[in-house]
Homo-oligomer: A and B are copies of this chain.
Amino acid sequence: MPAAKPDSFLDLCRAAIGPQHVLTETEDKAPFLTDWRRRYTGDALAVLRPGSTQEVAAVVHACHAHGMAIVPQGGNTGLCGGATPAAGEAAANGVVVLSLQRLNRVRQVDPLNNTVTVEAGVILQQLQDAAREHDRLFPLSLAAEGSCTIGGNLSTNAGGTGVLRYGNTRDLCLGLEVVTATGEIWDGLRGLRKDNTGYDLRDLFIGAEGTLGIITAAVMKLYPAPRARVTALAALQSPRDALALLSIAQSHAGSMLTGFELMSELCMTLVTRHYPQLRYPFAQAYPQLVLLELSDSESEEHARAIFETMMTAAFDAGVVIDAVVAESVQQSRDFWNLREHIPLAQVEEGKNIKHDIAVPISRVAEFIETTDDLLQTVFPGARMVTFGHLGDGNLHYNVSPPEGGDHDAFLANQDTVNRIVHDSVHRFNGSISAEHGLGQLKLGENARYKSGVELALMRAIKQTFDPRGLMNPGKVV
């Protein structure tokens, strides 16, 4: 790799995107160099903020010419350090952060085609709002939606709470515009439901975390806005009963079932301990809660009638101990608040060792029982904060020290805990990163569990798309 020539390189960038968008001062760069969780802080020669696809292509051209590595960044809300350069990398090799935030236009809404064409830097919430203005739903929804960008969602194939019905970000995308590693623009912005004219480049760039090219725009699917959304909370004895409830719910509600979230008793203990103002609707604690959501194209009454039938069937089957169907939009929000405060309550309680895993839905209960036992053997009294998208087989399986234990000290066990949990996931033919991606955090773990054949194919693709290794080095492969 040729040595970088910072000055002529930066001058090229300034000419391409305007000097005010080439940040080189330490305090200007700082917000782009530390990840949201404050786990990683890196270095970069500059932060580049192009304002259009052509400007992205121009700076990528400049990087290519100068052997400068590129870390693409959206809203900087990733959980695996995928958008943060390595420390010391700027000095060693030359690296820039390429922020897509200024590519923030909603280019076109086509309600009849049920599509929206957006630039990579559009905030997820803005996209949801744009859909709503046209009486449509953009169903991707996740905790960071107020600041994450759709480009970042695509690059990490983000999941969230609507996957059960609408799929991951990948499933919501029909077409992409991408700047390749050599600075060419691929216009794949097709808003088609069917297109069988060659290899699926779109899905290769999606989930690649900016290691193959830079997503600059996308055509995303919209859905008819449901007329009503109603939630219910069900109390159960075990994850096994939760799986039985899932089956009953799918049978009764079909595609109306849009949410199915599991929350263990410990989750609710932490939430009610740290957020006592939140409304917990039961008079007592239960081993497990499930939050169910129905989206109805008819009416709230209809959704509530479906819930009634479904819950009666679940009570009759001995699956559910107690249940409340939300009586109002506010009560639905209250139920979701309980779910969404689990990560925040964990922060208040103290650090724990987090996992974002998936197993086949049918094996979730067995996975929890088996893995809990393995951890208890090595770490007696360890407390698992287990919650997540049961309808997708996706759990946030977080391991805390025994009640009263030292949370920070417990983190020293991270490698051992990860090994137990991820080995267990692997035995269940599961995924060690269900919806957060790999970034730099899980690079080594992934290499450990993937087969040689799969790793070799991934590396060959990387080599083909980015032969000089300039695109987000040290991530994914």
On A, residues with C-beta under 8 Å from B are 110-115, 156-157, 159, 163-165, 167-168, 170-171, 180, 184-201, 203-204, 206-208, 212, 223-224, 226, 243, 246-247, 250-256, 295-298, 306, 358-363, 389, 391-394, 429-438, 442, 446, 449-451, 453-454, 457-458, 460-465, 476-477
Contacts of A306 in B (CB 8 A): 298
Find the B residue at minimum CB distance from A213: B457
4 smallest A-B Cβ distances: which pairs? A254-B297, A112-B362, A203-B203, A195-B431
Partner of A197, one of B196, B201, B361, B450: B450
Flag if B457 contacts A196 (CB, 8 Å): no
Provide the bound-state CA to CA distance between A53 and B451, in Å.
17
Least Cβ distance of A252 to chain B in Å?
Answer: 7
Least Cβ distance of A427 to chain B in Å?
Answer: 13
Contacts of A462 in B (CB 8 A): 199
Provide the bound-state CA to CA distance between A112 and B438, in Å.
28
Flag if B185 contacts A358 (CB, 8 Å): no
Flag if A431 contacts B203 (CB, 8 Å): no
Provide the bound-state CA to CA distance between A70 and B457, in Å.
20
Contacts of A449 in B (CB 8 A): 197
Find the B residue at minimum CB distance from A244: B112
> What are 25 A-B pairs at a CB distance below 8 A?
A110-B360, A110-B362, A113-B360, A113-B363, A114-B250, A170-B200, A186-B451, A186-B453, A186-B454, A187-B453, A188-B454, A195-B433, A196-B434, A196-B437, A197-B449, A198-B450, A199-B208, A199-B457, A201-B454, A224-B250, A224-B251, A254-B295, A457-B465, A460-B464, A461-B461
Least Cβ distance of A452 to chain B in Å?
Answer: 9
Provide the bound-state CA to CA distance between A203 and B431, in Å.
17
Find the B residue at minimum CB distance from A247: B112
Contacts of A206 in B (CB 8 A): 200
Least Cβ distance of A135 to chain B in Å?
Answer: 8
Q: Known A186-B453, A461-B461; judge A198-B446 contact (CB<8 A).
A: yes
Partner of A180, one of B110, B201, B446, B453: B453
A195, A199, A437, most chain B CB atoms within 10 A: A199
Find the B residue at minimum CB distance from A467: B460
Least Cβ distance of A40 to chain B in Å?
Answer: 18
Contacts of A295 in B (CB 8 A): 254
Flag if B195 contacts A204 (CB, 8 Å): no
Q: Known A392-B193, A429-B190; judge A198-B476 contact (CB<8 A).
A: yes
Contacts of A433 in B (CB 8 A): 195-197
Flag if B360 contacts A115 (CB, 8 Å): yes
Contacts of A437 in B (CB 8 A): 196
Q: Known A256-B297, A297-B253; judge A454-B198 contact (CB<8 A).
A: yes
Least Cβ distance of A344 to chain B in Å?
Answer: 22
